[in-house]
Structure 1
């Protein structure tokens, strides 16, 4: 049984409710690619399907779906062999508050490590990563707006 088949019954009802079946299959394929990128701590563009999976990962991070998906991945045991620190470093933001390269990978690996130490997701904190992803996205929007203004 593939990881995709194991995640299907758990992820589909909560995260992808209302999606057409074909889109669900595509999204779950992206979950597989994202899990592969995180496990190998590789660069998105070097993995087959990594670029489009990265786009979905960013969207899911901003909407809070990635929080739910990562919790399911943790509970299914898929995060067991993930590295504890990314090649990109340990901090998602630098001392000036700007997002570092690999911010999605850093945040996801750190949260998987938190789940490992705490025995799973905390019920009182349903979307711990969403705020960090929004902070990174807001910084990018502000920079792009300033560049377009000049």
Structure 2
């Protein structure tokens, strides 16, 4: 299974924000959209960073309510680990596990093509294993030739 298969199933919608936006606007957007991460884009719509729930918690723990006065670019993670649509899911699992990453932007020729979460990866792997199990059960039911 490839990253493109996950995106085909879940969709390619990505919520993004500019780095000069207030941090308070970013967390309101995350709350309103019920999402765990925002892609941060530069003026040309290219990936500049990522802001996830982890950065929200770290900012609030560090600066308290003063964090709300900061900008997204002050708090975002950069550089950003990414995947390509042609990457196998096992490669994405390795990136996410080793980097302790829960949201991975997908780039297709430097264009943001989607984002996959650890939940998306687990769901795809589970579906793959269920399918494999069904195939094996079907094979086991075939009549045996002596």
Normalised by the length of structure 1, the TM-score is: 0.28
Larger gyration radius, structure 1 or structure 2 = 2
Higher RCO (CA 8 Å, separation ≥ 6 residues)? 2
In proportion to residue count, which structure has more strand?
2
Normalised by the length of structure 2, the TM-score is: 0.29
